[in-house]
Amino acid sequence: MAEALEDGVGDNPDMYVKQITAAVDRLTNMVEDLFDISRIQAGELTYHTDVVPLHHLLAECVAALSPLAAANGVRLSMRAERPASAVGNSAELNRAMTNLLANGIRHTPEGGVVEIRLCAAKDHLGELEITVLDECGGIPAEHLDRVFDVGFRGDAARTPRSGLHPPGAGLGLAITRGIVEAHQGTVAVHNTATGCAFRVRLPEISD
């Protein structure tokens, strides 16, 4: 497209410019993700930390991604058992949760639901549990242990819908794991009857 514009033979210059810009944005995001992955793998994540009200943070994530969900015909919802806080970096925790929600939206078919829940961990006193539930149809059992690996991109049931939001480079979930672990937390995934449940656990603190 750039060559066509340079040669003056592009039949729709405005469309070409928009598509080139979108491609550059995707490449820029990929480079930034790769840089973050390198920092995570080197153990160099250092953050300014503060008390983060997770119920507010999750509400912000849901509000920010509502247009994406609507564009894909997916209903996005949130359920918080009670207000709860963790110590951490608000921007990075927001990014981790946004990655999980966007991943669920991208793989859930039109008419489906993606929900994020916040509650106290039932089996670990002093921990909070954040669960993102989607309706993607599930992940093949042999892939469950690999979804957080750098560069891994699943297929089959979780292949994104054709023509909607091109798949990424398989870095989003790896970055999410790095951020969560840098906050002394854990992240895991298991299949449900209709899709997947991504579960994040973080230490809770009192406000």
Residues with Cβ within 8 Å of residue 72, at least 6 apart in sequence: 105, 106, 108, 110, 161, 164, 165
Model confidence band, residue 28 (pLDDT cutoffs 50, 70, 90):
confident
Helices and strands in the chain, H and E counts:
5, 7
Predicted local distance difference test score (pLDDT) of residue 102 = 94
Model confidence band, residue 207 (pLDDT cutoffs 50, 70, 90):
low
Model confidence band, residue 42 (pLDDT cutoffs 50, 70, 90):
low
Cβ pair 182, 202 in contact under 8 A: no
Query: Can you say how many angstroms the Cα of residue 200 is from the centroid of all Cα atoms in its chain?
Result: 12
Predicted local distance difference test score (pLDDT) of residue 193 = 94
Residue located via tokens 């990655």: 99
Q: Which residue has the higher pLDDT, 36 or 155?
A: 36
Instruction: Report which listed range, 16-25, 131-140, 167-176, is most confident.
Output: 131-140
Share the mean pLDDT of the chain. Answer: 84
Model confidence band, residue 1 (pLDDT cutoffs 50, 70, 90):
confident
